[in-house]
Amino acid sequence: MDTLRLVLDPPLTGFENMSRDQAMLDLAVEGDIPPTVRFFQWDKPTLTIGKLQKVESLDIIHLEHRSIPLVRRPTGGRAILHHHEVTFSMFLPPFFFGAGYTPAESYEKLRQVLLLFLEILGITPDQETLNQPYLASPYCFSLNAAHEITVKGKKLIGVAQARNKGGTLFQGSCILSADRKEIAGGFHDADTVLRELSHNLLALDEILNRVPERDTLIDTFLESFAREWSVMFRRQGWIEEEIACSADLMRTHYFPGSSFIMGKETG
């Protein structure tokens, strides 16, 4: 039975959160980073955007007025305002599932875990996810791709990934509650984004009579991993090299208004 490192971080800035995930992926190219599942929190509401996403659709002045930091993720996808949610990341080295697994097949393995998580909560996901018409939307939960999980046609969990020769990094958000007007306010075309969110975004408090505490939800995630993948978890902290790499990344990439965050570079 495989053992995964379990990291439970306290609330951190968005810059530190993203630099820690990036550090795992970067160090994996030359070092031995163990398979890891990480649950983390945000010290304040934070807007993240995908690694290649453009910032032109964002209302930067509104974000600054609301003191909402803007951070670019190391993974792809589109914008997410992180606030009331359970946020997780996962690093898997090559061949974790054996030889021959493609990134898409690895994602499908994670998808099965998420489906079991919802089942344990008493939530029945859709049997089929249909592509939605908002393909130009800047917000992650405004659109559904065919491989994603929806409930009653709406998106509840968003997952993005990045990979290199050292392995694959997944980042995911499960929405507990959502202020759609607050989310939409971060974009120039706020009315359009608000309309998209009303059609596609779903939060746990909208389908459960009582949303479990965050720690209980994390335990449910871990139970789902253990049952679906036949794995165990060992809670551990970051190794010294990861902390140092994260600190370096915060000096070079992950700080307010950096070239990386504002899209003037994508490396």
**Catalytic residue IDs:** 140
Which positions ≥6 away from 99 have C-beta within 8 Å? none
Amino acid at 264: K
Q: How far apart are CA 188 and CA 256, in angstroms?
A: 20
Q: How far apart are CA 149 and CA 159, in angstroms?
A: 10
Which positions ≥6 away from 264 have C-beta within 8 Å? none
Tokens of 125: 């996901």
- Closest to 201 measured CA to CA, from 184, 214, 188, 218: 184
Residue/partner pairs of 246-252 with CB below 8 Å, 24 or more apart: 246/16, 246/19, 246/20, 246/22, 246/23, 247/19, 249/19, 249/22, 249/23, 249/26, 250/15, 250/16, 250/19
| DSSP 3-state of 141 | helix
Amino acid at 164: N
